[in-house]
Structure 1
Amino acid sequence: MPDPPLAALNNFTPTQHGPTIPPNLSLPDTPLPPNFTILILGASEGIGEHIAHAYARASAHTIILSSRTLPNLQRVKSTLHTINPAVRVEILPCDISSPPSVETLSDSIKNSINRLDCTIVNAAYAPPITLKTHLDSPPDVQRAFDTNCMGTFNAAHYLVPLLLSTDNGARQFIAIGSMAGSIRRGHIANMGYCVSKMAQTRMVEYLHEQYGAAADGGLFALTVHPGAVMTGMARGNTPETFVPFLVDDVGLCGAFVVWVSKRVGRGELGWLGGRFVSATWDVDELVGRREVVVGRDLLKFEVGVE
């Protein structure tokens, strides 16, 4: 039986995108802010790599690629220079689940670049999917929380101060979350991935409450569902019954978050701060729902009461 809250969330805008990137995400009408410097955690392949492609096409000044291992990042760097020879690309290793590793990353950015406009937390871990808790592997569930939940905390703890201290910075913190954090039943309703992704989304809400006001730094924090994409992490780890749903373009999320970065830079999307959105939603229709989103404080987790 479908999960009603998930169905409502998935269809929040009447028009859905996914298999192709819609034209209203591809218009080169708005530039990124000058000297725009972005860090992508989990940039070695899949969605993270294509987020980097999107920012290179959008003429970001500096793109910092990070993951636990470096070889794939060299390939991504070469691709970015093919897309945009003018972009500055830096490679810095980081294990997001390790506080010392994230602290070292933050120090390296401060010392070598001394600027950070946007942090995108894309690094994630999905354990083998089981639908009964007694079948879960405790080490796998622990790894999911260490990466998806504590990894987002580590990134916020060490990188938000750098975002806020950057002169004329864009001050953006974007977590690549998942609608899986909203489900309770169905093909992939498992304890490790779904609950850790729910916690990640809640953390972003906290970041908005703590730093979103101008007096507290004016941080723009957002969680973005990237669509249902057949990534390397999903391949071989997804139940066969769910595979037919993994049809969204791997580049959709990148196009969406570039749209976000540009509009935040123009002061147009502050009302979305602290909320959960989906890259599959039509952006014009999303903006058209601003009044109801703000008035009812939608797109956040809550306990339903009557």
Structure 2
Amino acid sequence: MEADHFVKAQQFVRHTHRDEYPAIKPTQASLSQKGKVVVITGASQGLGERAFVPAFAKAGAKAIVLVARSADKLNNLAGKLAKEYPGVETLAVSTDIADPDSVANLFEKVKEKYGHADVLINNAGIFKAIGPVKDVDEAAWWDELTLNIRGTFLVTQGFLKALPTPETPAKVVTLTSGVAYQIFPGLSAYGMSKLGVWEIMKYVAAEHPNVVAVAQHPGVVMTDMVIDAFKPVAKDTPELVGGVGVWLSAWEGVDRKFLNGRFISSNWDVDDLVAKKDEILKADLLNIDIKGTFGHEHFAQ
């Protein structure tokens, strides 16, 4: 499998990227997160630690709420951020995102210190239940769906409930995957869970006019979650993923609402996406649908 296999197979715009490029550099004024509070789940490792946390710190967020299970890892990360980005506050909250009480505690702490958060990055997830439906371990299969879907739901619900008014603007970016819409035998749990979290974004977009909610495919970055079969194509950088996350969460410039509830790949050039805005909206692209010709009128005598 060539290194650009998935980039080419999933190409939707003319230009693609595998590393940071000018339009998504978090330090530019148009992507500033000044005054904003950002919650990042799965912050202690992987794309949380390497992509989203540094990107939002570079974007000048007022505060980054670091969420993961390991208190020690979170505190270590908070210490590093304090040294590298002294102008960015951190709040480390050890949280089991699949536990309602733990998530309630998270947003109570956010409320106590900041009132509410402005941006939510649903990055946390697991990828362990691998095998055909006939053979895969049932407990591992359900654990993956529970953490990935229930965890994303609970954190998103807590974030939305904490907004002061129904008109308060907010951003939610949730990590999905190409396996959400393509079948990869042996990856049923991951594929279903990543389709499920995308669906959550679609409902948030439909139910909350004040919120921009997007499902972001990170591409393939070399992390502990990458299985052997995908390692030859794991050439995307954390800076690419983090930069796209900041771009999707931006408050200035082009309104990102045309991507509300939709799937986007980190590999796609964001300026090209903006250029296709009217086409995306008119044809309802980057969405999940069922193919067919429907309606009783097709069968009228």
- Inter-partner Cα distance in structure 2 for 1:144 and 1:276: 21
Q: Which residue of 2 aligns with 1:150?
A: 150
Q: Which residue of 2 aligns with 1:181?
A: 180
The share of aligned pairs that are identical, in percent, is 26
The one of 200, 203, 211 aligned to 1:203:
200
Contact 2:172–2:249 under 8 Å retained in 1: no
- Inter-partner Cα distance in structure 1 for 2:107 and 2:9: 35
* Structure 1 residue 78: Cα displacement: 2.6
Q: Between Structure 1 and Structure 2, whose CA radius of gyration is higher?
A: 2
Deviates more, 1:73-82 or 1:58-67: 73-82
- Inter-partner Cα distance in structure 1 for 2:279 and 2:253: 22
Q: Which residue of 2 aligns with 1:97?
A: 98
For structure 1, the residue ranges without an aligned partner over 5 or more in a row are 1-5
- Is structure 2 residue 250 aligned with structure 1 residue 258? no
Structure 1 residues 14, 274: closer, same or farther in 2, change over 3 A?
same
Structure 1 residues 161, 9: closer, same or farther in 2, change over 3 A?
farther
Q: Give the total of aligned pairs.
A: 287
Q: Which residue of 1 aligns with 2:232?
A: 244
Q: Which residue of 1 aligns with 2:280?
A: 293
- Is structure 2 residue 131 aligned with structure 1 residue 139? no
TM-score of the superposed pair, with normalisation by structure 1: 0.87
- Inter-partner Cα distance in structure 1 for 2:269 and 2:55: 18
- Inter-partner Cα distance in structure 2 for 1:85 and 1:113: 18
Contact 2:264–2:286 under 8 Å retained in 1: yes
Q: Which residue of 1 aligns with 2:76?
A: 75
* Structure 1 residue 185: Cα displacement: 3.4
Deviates more, 1:29-38 or 1:95-104: 29-38
Map Cα deviations across residues 166-220 of structure 1 (whole Å, 9 max, x no partner). Answer: 799541111111112111136xx51111111111101110111111x2xxxx111
Q: Which residue of 1 aligns with 2:296?
A: none
- Is structure 2 residue 220 aligned with structure 1 residue 228? yes
- Inter-partner Cα distance in structure 2 for 1:166 and 1:74: 32
* Structure 1 residue 8: Cα displacement: 8.3
Structure 1 residues 293, 88: closer, same or farther in 2, change over 3 A?
same
Q: Which residue of 2 aligns with 1:10?
A: 10
- Inter-partner Cα distance in structure 1 for 2:158 and 2:117: 12
Q: Which residue of 1 aligns with 2:64?
A: 63
- Inter-partner Cα distance in structure 2 for 1:182 and 1:229: 19
Moved over 6 A (4+): 6-9
Q: Which residue of 2 aligns with 1:3?
A: none
Contact 1:118–1:170 under 8 Å retained in 2: no
- The one-letter code sitting in structure 2 at the alignment partner of 1:225 is H
* Structure 1 residue 223: Cα displacement: 0.8
TM-score of the superposed pair, with normalisation by structure 2: 0.89
* Structure 1 residue 81: Cα displacement: 2.4
- The one-letter code sitting in structure 2 at the alignment partner of 1:146 is T
* Structure 1 residue 112: Cα displacement: 2.3
Contact 1:35–1:61 under 8 Å retained in 2: yes
